[in-house]
Structure 1
Amino acid sequence: MSDINKPAHQKELFGHPIGLYVLFFTEMWERFSYYGMRALLVLYMTAKTMQANGQSGLGWLEGEALALYGWYTMLVYLMSIPGGFIADRYIGQKKAVLIGAILLTAGHGVLAIDAIWAYYTGLGLVILGVGMLKPNISTMVGGLYKQNDIRRDKGFSVFYVGINLGSFLASLSVGLVAKFYGWHAGFGLAGIGMLLGLIVYIYGQRYLVHVGNEPTPEDKSNDISIATLMSQLLKSPIHLGIVGLIIAYAIYAGFTYAGADNWGYTALYIVIALVTGIMMMIYKNLNGQVEKDRYVVLLLSLLIVIVFWGCFEQMGGLMNLYAEQKTNRDLFGWEVPSAWFQSANPGFIILFAVFVANIWAKRKLKGKEAGSLFKMATGVIIMGIGFIYMVFASMEYEANGSSAMYWLVLAYLFHTIGELCLSPVSLSFFTKLAPARYMALMMGVYWAATGLGNKVAGVIGENASKAGELNIFGGLFIFAVTFGILVILLMKPLKRLTHGAEDKETIIHDDETEGFELSNH
């Protein structure tokens, strides 16, 4: 059958289903809206209530702004858990993405209104929208291809280009609009981007009729119920006691901690306690020593993820403020918008993704260490080295009252190289180690760890005003490099615990796409 006579969802463009390009542009505009708003978030909160150019910010202290930034970015990832669950269990990925896109469009639109109620309402809608869209649109990309279709990896590579292209364009355009027309014009431009993504998605529904549909009764019966694990927890006095102690401490902390977000931490501790209980019950239910050993390594990989994002996400918080307040941004007599520095990360990803992945591929061909744990540890080290440039920037600021832009660019370069070593690998490694019957649940735990890393980043940023940026950046450099080296030193025993989970992997030689992986953060 010729392509002309095929149903819309079977038609192809450049060797891939047209549905891939529908999802590509939907995700590109979603990332445009999210990263465009994220580039302005901390800057807007810390801007004076009335500035010389007529713009008005919220006038918050840096610690307050970074605290909210940490809560916000954490909740964006945590909402991926219920978002994925609702789609898998009830409405399917296609409807979930549509709902998410509508919520995001509304959220960014509300953020364009210059009022404090609109600010909080907009952030809440964006959190819910990303939670519905983010975990489900990637699932739909996979659903476009049959199980053994060799085009699947290439399709994801094309899709991830959209993620980083949207991020890159947003940081440039939204930052420029905010500089000349005000914060809320910048937020509004992010909303226009999401509206375009929503229009593309609705228009392209005829190309997606076969993916992301509502789950069948058989699909639901294959799920491991959280309720089942919780009922097992209630029957285990030791495990229940551990969870109970954490919850009791959380409630005590809510009454005694100082600060407006004390009950926020209480809720966070309770969530961590319940997740801890579920993780313990999963370990208890595992079959055989091989599964249990791999599970231990899986937990360590979660720790690596938390450490990495806890350091890396200074990019949108503390380092964003540093670009605004302490960096000499004069370029031939024109002041570079501070939000533009947020484009360095996606720009470097687009430039270096293939290069970095091919380096790992060549190492593996030569028989050198190129396992996932080694890549992840190396990523943490390289990312940590990036902070040494922020140390140099802080020293220059203390000496001269400002620091050069190239320090920030170099820091972002190393952070991005580190991300390319860790981000494409960590989720894949996680799926290799997680027990198959708990896979959906463990994916939620993975995103929860990513969200917790974002909250850690906010907490670190909060303390910069007390500890000093030089100490914070220096501490992150020492900690990240030391942590990565420690993981490498433990590599041999950790690899034994994986029981050859990666031993059967081979490199497929394809000049077009060898090692072509992009971050999906």
Structure 2
Amino acid sequence: MSNTNSGTIFGHPKGLFLLFGTEMWERMSYYGMRGIFVLYLVAFAANFGWDMAYFGIDPAAADAQDQLTKALNKNALGILGIYAFWVYVTPVLGGWMADNHWGQRKAIIVGGVLMALGQFTLGTPHSMIPGLEVEFLYLGLFLLIMGNGFFKPNISTMVGDLYTEGDKRRDAAFTIFYMGINLGSILGYFVVGTIGEKINYQYGFLVAGVGMLLGVILQMSMSKKFLGNVGVEPAAKKSADNQEASNTPLTSEERDRVKVILIMSFFTIIFWLGFEQAAGSMNLFAKQKTDLMMFGFEIPASWLQSVNPIFVILFAPMFAAMWLKMGAAEPNSPKKFAMGMFFLGLGFISMVMAAIQIGDSDTAKASIIWLILAYMFHTMGELCLSPIGLSLVTKLAPLKYTSLLMGMWFFFSGVGNYAAAWVGQMVGDVGPFAAFMGVAIMAFVAGILLWLISGKLVDWMHGAEDNQPKDLTEKIEEELSVTGTHEGIKEQH
């Protein structure tokens, strides 16, 4: 850890705002690509050789075009699911590499360069690579996955290392950092989404690559001045105490806490398989089945995904104040997670209403209000599970199994993202009404089960639940940390 002498802005080290800017540009790149990816795969399907013959569709069939649309949607969602799964798994490797060999700063620069190359690879015009379009697609995704693995888990470590142990500014620093994530995602959806949908999808990837490159340039040109030696040396140094702890059998209390981690990890699969429809089936529904005309202008479908980060910023202070006002009546963490499931279910009830509005018509369009309501409820659900996330693992995991259980948490989140693609594909098989209703029912059932067992889970935490924020500032920081939880980012204390 090293505090630099480069001065402060608003009472915080200038290095914090360098990391804020780096993360903002990276998230702009990541979410911008995520917002248009499945739309790009469907729009440019012919360039990849994905036609009726590829899917075995009879061109003479009366519904041949409808079959092709469904097949293209399923194919695009499948690719998105695989990509999203590995995005959550590779940070385990990236964190280990930084801790043991490279240091955080080198890891995020390598990660940023790889992601920029990935975006530029996706953005390479097909006319320049005839016959290699599919190869370039998968190469671009591979570079993005590997770059994300090196970047995502390491930049937040550097935020924490800007402050000495016990510095009260640390929580506020992470709040500022989380705002960078949200602003970056909003910027990505609006800038990359607009260019991608209104001009050319591949131009959108190129712009996303430029955004990532800006983050790398910021880091390389200013880190020495504003970060000092923060993130230069590998952080993981196993102490003798850790070695001694690794040989100690688990106590009954520790076994109980591991049970809580595993049970909550399972429920994250259910939550994310619904929440992550945003980039998949809900994105396609917005593009193909929603009336996007507003004030005489057709908004890009990807813009709707910006509703989530906008509502996170708006609702976080409201939720924080509400929990604080409830005092002793504030629900425990498992009950909050159950409430998150209920809100997720309400979001899909909104999607069911959109499906009812269009019925079986091929030309009818659903009101945009249903999708905005769905994203609003999903955001409220995400905010309800903010006390869980990665902090659950750091609070409850036995010392010798912390890394293993952290990796498992990432893995379960990845499974949830992969399952999201499978659920999204069901929309084409059974129709949006049945698919969205199925997710809503699953969310409500999961919420009820979690609510019923919440008391036992709190008992198994053996006091870890008692360590809760006590003032509004801490509460707001906790609510905004839901972004970090979703991103696989944890605070370093």
Query: TM-score when scaled to structure 1?
Result: 0.82
1:16 to 6, 12, 15: 12
Secondary structure, counterpart of 1:463 in structure 2: helix
**Aligned equivalent of 2:95, options 70, 84, 91:** 84
Hey, what does 1:177 align to over in structure 2?
195
1:107 aligned onto 2:126: no
Matched, 1:356 2:319: yes
- What is the distance in 1 between the residues matched to 2:117 and 2:260? 41
Q: Deviations over 1:256-311 (max 9, x none)?
A: xxxxxxxxxxxxxxxxxxxxxxxxxx9x9742111111111111111121111111
Q: State the shift of 1:352 in Å.
A: 1.1
Structure 2: gaps spanning 5 or more residues: 52-70, 127-132, 487-493
> In the aligned structure 2, how far is the partner of 1:485 from the partner of 1:306?
16
Is residue 76 of structure 2 the alignment partner of residue 65 of structure 1? yes
Aligned to 1:469: 432
Structure 2 residue matching 1:113: 3-state secondary structure: coil
Q: 2:231 aligned to 201, 212, 219, which one?
A: 212
Q: Note if contact 1:286-1:292 (Cα within 8 Å) is conserved in structure 2.
A: no
Does the CA contact (< 8 Å) of 2:103 and 2:235 recur in 1?
Answer: no
Offset of residue 358 of structure 1: 2.2
Verify the 8 A CA contact 2:109 2:216 in the aligned structure 1. Answer: yes
Q: What is the aligned partner in structure 2 of residue 253 from structure 1?
A: none
Partner residue, 2:465? 502
SS of equivalent to 1:311: helix
- Specify which of 426, 444, 449 is matched with residue 407 of structure 2: 444
Counterpart for residue 191 of structure 1: 209
Sequence identity, in percent? 42
Contact 2:324-2:330 within 8 A present in 1 as well:
no
Question: CA 1:504/1:182 → structure 2, altered by over 3 Å: closer, same or farther?
Answer: closer
Residue type at the aligned position of 2:80: Y
> Within 1, Cα distance between the matches of 2:272 and 2:229?
35
Is residue 89–residue 220 contact of structure 1 (8 Å, CA) maintained in 2?
no
C-alpha deviations, 1:197-252, integer Å up to 9, x for none? 11111122122223223237844877789xxxxxxxxxxxxxxxxxxxxxxxxxxx
Once residues 495 and 96 of structure 1 are traced to their aligned partners in structure 2, the CA distance between those partners, rounded to angstroms, is: 37
Instruction: State the partner residue of 2:67.
Output: none
- Aligned partner letter, 1:368: A
The Cα shift of 1:512 comes to 10
TM-score, normalised by the number of residues in structure 2: 0.86
The residue aligned with 1:458 is: 421
- Report the equivalent of 1:433: 396
Question: How far is 1:113 from its partner?
Answer: 0.4
Alpha carbons 2:357, 2:366 under 8 Å: kept? yes
Q: Which stretches in structure 1 are left out of the alignment for 5+ residues? A: 1-5, 226-281
2:348 corresponds to 1:387:
yes
Q: Secondary structure at the match of 2:157?
A: helix
Q: Does 1:492 align with 2:455?
A: yes
Alignment partner, residue 154 of structure 1: 172
Q: 1:212-291 counterparts in 2 under 5 A?
A: 212-215=231-234, 218-219=237-238, 286-291=249-254
Contact 2:32 2:193 (C-alpha < 8 Å) held by counterparts = yes
Counterpart selection for 1:120 from 119, 128, 138 = 138
In structure 2, how many angstroms separate the alpha carbons of the residues matched to 1:218 and 1:174?
Answer: 41
Q: Is the 8 A contact 1:394 1:403 kept in 2?
A: yes
The alpha-carbon deviation at position 181 of structure 1 amounts to 1.9
Residue of structure 2 equivalent to 1:163: 181
Q: Secondary structure at the match of 1:490?
A: helix
Q: Which has the bigger relative contact order, CA under 8 A and spacing at least 6? A: 2
- The whole-number CA distance in structure 2 between the counterparts of 1:500 and 1:223 is 23
Matches of 1:506 and 1:462 in 2, distance apart?
41
Q: Are the aligned partners of 2:81 and 2:420 in contact in 1 as well (CA < 8 Å)?
A: yes
Q: CA deviation at 1:500?
A: 1.6
List aligned pairs for 1:357-436, cutoff 5 A. 357-363=320-326, 365=327, 367-398=328-359, 401-423=364-386, 425-436=388-399
Deviation for aligned residue 1:130: 0.7
Higher deviation after alignment, 147-156 or 55-64: 55-64
Query: Partners of 1:512 and 1:422 in 2: how far apart?
Result: 13
